[in-house]
Structure 1
Amino acid sequence: MSKPVLLDTLQDQLGTSSARHCELPMDERPHADAEMTRVLKTKPVSMASDPSSGAITFWRHDPLHDVVRPMADHVIMTFPAEPVPFERRDGKAFVKGMTRPGTVTIIPAGSTSRWDIHRPLSVLQLYLPQTTLNRVAHEAGTTEVGDLVERTAHPDSITSRLLVSAADALDGCAALDALFRHQLTDLLATRLLAAHTGTAATIQPVMGGLSPKVLGRAIERLRSDSDADVSLAALASEAGVSRFHFCRAFKESTGLSPHAWLRQHRLEQAMNMLRDSNASVVSVAAALGYSSQTAFAAAFKKLTGETPSDWRSRMR
């Protein structure tokens, strides 16, 4: 790994103390969302977080000229819009480039650098705790977890596409969104282990699906209309396997990821209610756990090409 060396040059280049910020104890480093809010001088357009996985945020911010202080979590970011010129200074290192779509920037926990971004910018960020990276590595059968490599506008269309999908696939339904976010974070962590550590991890393949009995229990939990916990952790725990192995074995058995299966099931429920009852669209949205009629209508149209009201009119 090419580790940043933060020596006395930081005092001149960044206008900071010559003390090595990365030596701050973990509990004294700011959370990534708090530090990004300070640096970007705005609040994220959207943010979803979970203690077991981390957080995903989408920002639109003005030009900035500031030092990003060492953070407790790793930050992985990608840029979905037009290229924007930037400079990044880290000790003796200096990078000048463009924030192009299809690239990723990785700021490992504990590192610091100065950023100069010269135009307004849209950016998606994943805040990834080291504990999540360690868990995924363990579940994937990786014996050694290398340090994340610091990257700046590094070409990686796979990681970039995965992170961009976070903005496209959140439906406004708490259960669906949490399940998707858990899957996405684990998948991104797997990708980072394989492509962005000093020692590329070897991910052990998952062989075979779930047994009929275990699969039946998982589907029963996903079908539940109660407040049953359908988080990835709960599904995997009931199946007696890790989150990593559950996702892959469930897809092997059904052809769909747990999130895609639940989304399809909720769509079928919505269609039945719209076709067979006089329940209002607002009532259907609430019954299926959507935060609003607008969120439900957008998710329904994304999957069917029609609004719930138009689909109901056509079916009757």
Structure 2
Amino acid sequence: MAAEFRSHPAGDLPAIVPTQMEITLATRRSVGARVSRKGAGVRQRTAVEAGTVWLCPVGVGEDDINISAPLNEILHIYLPASRFEALAELYGDARIRADAVRYLADVQDPLIRQIGLSVLGELVQETSAGRMMVESAALTLTARIAQAYGHDRPDDAQLSQEDSACPDRIQRAVDFIRDNLDRDLSIAELASVACLSPFHFARMFKRVTGQTPYGFVSAERLECACRLLADRRTSILDIALRSGFSSQAAFGTAFKKAKGCTPSEYRKLLG
């Protein structure tokens, strides 16, 4: 999944034919702004309010786009068709396709908004397991779009036998996480360890542990960092890198948000 956060000036936009599923989210109201666009033979005019979502499926050409007033703080998320193909394979339903999603404007979907704001939060401020969070968000977002704005998925009964074996499989992934906290973990790798599809893994991990994979990894890395801070021979930069952060500054910001003090202050409290 790719994402970008930007503003748009008023005026006409060039015609486009997206090669990926595009989800556009207005994160705040743009006073007096309306978006007019035409695709799949449909003309749409939408006021830009906080939480408004636009969907543009793969291959739907937009040849007439106009923005009446400047737009601020617009999030664009792009899902490759392979995300939908993987979901179709999981459920054995060939109707689930990126190009089967409807061309829609003025969508009010709290789940899509929540996912979008989570992705935006990672763009604004890095976290230790941000890549995993974004990967989980991509899985959930693909499933939501396919379920609500494309064809229905088949019954979950076909997964019941697999579900019964999930606690042991999830425990394997938990053990793997704890042994590899300093590595760049991904949902795909953890799902492979558990012998599950990425989508099924993310769903079952939450059911078994009560946490998302992203939340679990973040918590485990934070506890690991706390233990490492007790050893004054280990620099804070080294602890940051071993905790999955790209810099000491990003680590310090995330640590203070979670613990209420900086890593240096926490180390002093340990005596």
TM-score by length of 2: 0.84
- For residues 225 and 149 of structure 1, what CA distance do their matches in structure 2 show? 41
1:161 counterpart letter in structure 2? Q
1:6-45 to structure 2, matched below 5 A, reads none
Hey, what does 1:129 align to over in structure 2? 80
Hey, what does 2:131 align to over in structure 1? 178
* Contact preservation (8 Å) 2:184, 2:244: no
Deviation at 1:191? Answer: 0.3
Deviation at 1:235? Answer: 1.3
* Contact preservation (8 Å) 1:210, 1:249: no
**Match of residue 145, structure 2, among 192, 195, 202:** 192
Deviation at 1:278? Answer: 4.7
Report SS of the residue matched to 1:106: strand
**Match of residue 201, structure 1, among 144, 153, 164:** 153
RMSD across aligned C-alpha pairs, in angstroms? 2.6
- For residues 167 and 116 of structure 1, what CA distance do their matches in structure 2 show? 25
Deviation at 1:165? Answer: 0.9
TM-score by length of 1: 0.73
1:63 is aligned to 2:10: yes
- Whose helix proportion is higher, 1 or 2? 2
1:139 counterpart letter in structure 2? L
Report SS of the residue matched to 1:113: coil
Hey, what does 2:57 align to over in structure 1? 108
Deviation at 1:76? Answer: 0.6
Deviation at 1:228? Answer: 5.2
Hey, what does 2:47 align to over in structure 1? 98
Hey, what does 2:118 align to over in structure 1? 165
* Contact preservation (8 Å) 1:86, 1:115: no
Deviations 1:263-311 (A, max 9, x none): 0000001111223435333232122231112211222223223332333
Residue ranges of structure 2 left out of the alignment (5+ in a row): none
Report SS of the residue matched to 1:65: strand
Change (3 A) 1:61 1:304: farther
* Contact preservation (8 Å) 1:86, 1:97: yes
Hey, what does 2:29 align to over in structure 1? 82
* Contact preservation (8 Å) 2:183, 2:244: no
Change (3 A) 1:248 1:209: farther
- For residues 194 and 55 of structure 2, what CA distance do their matches in structure 1 show? 34
- For residues 213 and 157 of structure 1, what CA distance do their matches in structure 2 show? 33
- For residues 138 and 189 of structure 2, what CA distance do their matches in structure 1 show? 16
Change (3 A) 1:232 1:211: same
